Amino acid sequence: MKGFLKSVLATVTGIILVSVIMGVLTIISLVGVAASSAASTSVEENSVFTLSLSGNVEERVEENPLSMLTGEVSENLGLNDIIAAIRKAKENEDIKGIYLEAGLFVTDAPATQHAIREALLDFKKSGKWIVAYGDNYTQGSYYICSVADKLFMNPQGMLDWHGLSSTPYFLKDMLAKFGVKYQLAKVGKYKSAPEMMTADQMSEPNREQVTAYMTGIWKVMLSDVSKSRNISVDSLNAYADRFVAFTDQKELVKMKLVDKLLYTDEVKNEVRKLLKIDEDDEINQLTLSDMKNVRGKKQKGSDDKIAVYYAYGSIVDSEEGGLLSSGHNIVAEKVCKDLEKLAEDDDVKAVVLRVNSPGGSAYASEQIWHSVTRIKAKKPIVVSMGGYAASGGYYISCAADYIYAEPTTITGSIGIFGMFPDFSGLLTEKLGVKFDEVKTNKHAAFGTMARPFNAEEIAMLDEYIGRGYELFRKRVADGRKQKVEAIEEIAQGRVWLGNDALGIKLVDAIGSLNDAVDKAAKLAKLENYHTTSYPAPAGWLENLMEQGTKGSYLDEQMRETLGSLYEPVMYLKNINRQSAIQARLPYFLEIK
């Protein structure tokens, strides 16, 4: 018995010791990773910033400590990191140019591509050069790379230039096979988000607005590429109609779409010539990861602070109310607390709210709107719109002192709707479930699973949705200092591009996030200040703990397997978790 107890004790002690040792090693590893990421990167003379246009671009990327420990490279790029790196490269005297390497590059919206392109154009004002190279150019990566002084392509490569298209999803008939249908209450003839669940094709008002904003985006792209490549807009349209992806590579040179056909080693020699070094010399390169740790231009010392708060993703009431199983959300209960702290912080003299959102919960949007007004009562607040600031995204923006948008920002969509799933067909017809009913009052069974809403109940919902629309419209009118009647003429759920929104006074100016910061400083009458980004990144321990609860690995595998079907499948999976009253764009707006 004593031997058995000794054996058990030794085993338990061993397990405890191993656990302690593993814990210590993990902490040491995390500290090492944190220390290495915090260390500044020195820049050698005659260096090149190599920006790889490959992967998915998001508004902001949170670091994954597990990936960093295992050496796994994330395919996600942060727009904020890219813009900051380009600015640092412009300011650093030891960086002589930028080398753009085109690959499979995916952005959330055309405005994101435009923001990167504008940052590169600003870089060129320093007199430094940009060289671009790609084995294959997607249309988006070519649009960005067209700013380059020299644009090269692999002799056997491909360049995609085809125009824009959008293919929305319609799931009504698929749901009907399972006995599920949606009941709709909405305000706004252009409010098209519910069509995915309630129609089998685009309505004419929706087709009108989609045609308008896609044509507007394409005009911007044509104009920008035309100026950079010295090719007429008519020629660029003709090339798109020819679908030049299948054109002989030598013809692309004649079309002036590329400057020369070169292999990778030959491109390196072109870069060496620009650096004025020998062909045998090594090129000093800095990656995007390196640039994160390069010190930027030192701001003038001051305790005065401009807070840049990032609000991106779907707007939800709580973390449990997300529309999808993954991705970043604007969680109202958290954002409101954060904005309240910024309103009370005396060191924060102004706030820039960076909005990139297609909208979401109408209730959550109202709560965030209220928090914005509380800041506005104490200090200036300026909105910088990213790829989307529509519906709920515009709701949370409209109260700001000043609003900037990109030319191709998708905004407006002032409207509201409620979609309510009816599972009674699934339960009674498909599964054979029977229901009975006893009630004490007329509407005691409102919302029962046993049947769809009746006409009187739908009328009550329409009235409720109507009041929500009237409130949204008034919020916009008050914020934009216009009459409600004027807002009604441009509302009805109509989507507008940033360029068009400027003419109808939904935004105040076309500009970047940096322009918004400059405006905030001017409104706050600040000469010396520094900027701080919010919300602050999660701590290492918090990030590490979250990895086990998000199901990130399985989620990535599902995304890879399902491809473009991933989002609608996950939407159906979480159909009962979203807020019923929505102010948002179509769920899966895709422009390619």
Structural contact between residues 586 and 196, judged by C-beta atoms closer than 8 angstroms: yes
What one-character DSSP code corresponds to residue 348? E
Structural contact between residues 517 and 306, judged by C-beta atoms closer than 8 angstroms: yes
Q: ∠417-420-424 over CA atoms, to 5°?
A: 160
* C-alpha to C-alpha distances, 117 to 36, 100, 168, 216, nearest whole angstrom: 30, 11, 27, 17
Active-site entry in 88, 96, 191, 379: 191
Structural contact between residues 267 and 152, judged by C-beta atoms closer than 8 angstroms: yes
Token look-up 């002690």 returns: 13
Q: 396-408 as b/e, with b when 16 or more CB fall inside 10 Å?
A: bbbbbbbbbbbbb
Q: How many CA atoms lie within 13 A of 575 on its CB side?
A: 15
Which residues are CB-neighbours of 395 under 8 A, at least 6 positions away?
Answer: 359, 362, 365, 366, 368, 369, 472, 475, 476, 583
Secondary structure tally for the chain: helices H, strands E? 23, 21
**Secondary structure (3-state) at 308:** strand
State the amino acid at position 292 in one-letter form: K
Work out the number of other CB atoms within 10 angstroms of the CB of residue 548.
Answer: 10
What is the Cα–Cα distance from 261 to 585, expressed in whole angstroms? 42
What one-character DSSP code corresponds to residue 277? -
By CB atoms closer than 10 A (0-12, 13-18, 19+), residue 432 is exposed
Angular region, 573: left φ>0, alpha ψ -120 to 50, beta rest: alpha
Strand partners, 583: 360
Q: Where do the DSSP E strands lie in 313-457?
A: 314-316, 329-331, 348-357, 359-361, 381-390, 402-405, 410-412, 416-422
Strand partners, 55: 105
Q: Is 191 among the catalytic positions?
A: yes
Q: Is 226 among the catalytic positions?
A: no
Which residues are CB-neighbours of 86 under 8 A, at least 6 positions away?
Answer: 49, 51, 98, 116, 119, 120, 122, 123
Please compute Rg for the chain using Cα positions.
27
Active-site entry in 146, 325, 357, 391: 391
Which residues are CB-neighbours of 421 under 8 A, at least 6 positions away?
Answer: 180, 181, 182, 575, 576
Q: Which two tokens stand for residue 261?
A: 């056909």
What is the Cα–Cα distance from 157 to 210, expressed in whole angstroms? 32
Q: ∠557-562-565 over CA atoms, to 5°?
A: 140
What one-character DSSP code corresponds to residue 229? H
The set of catalytic residues is: 191, 391
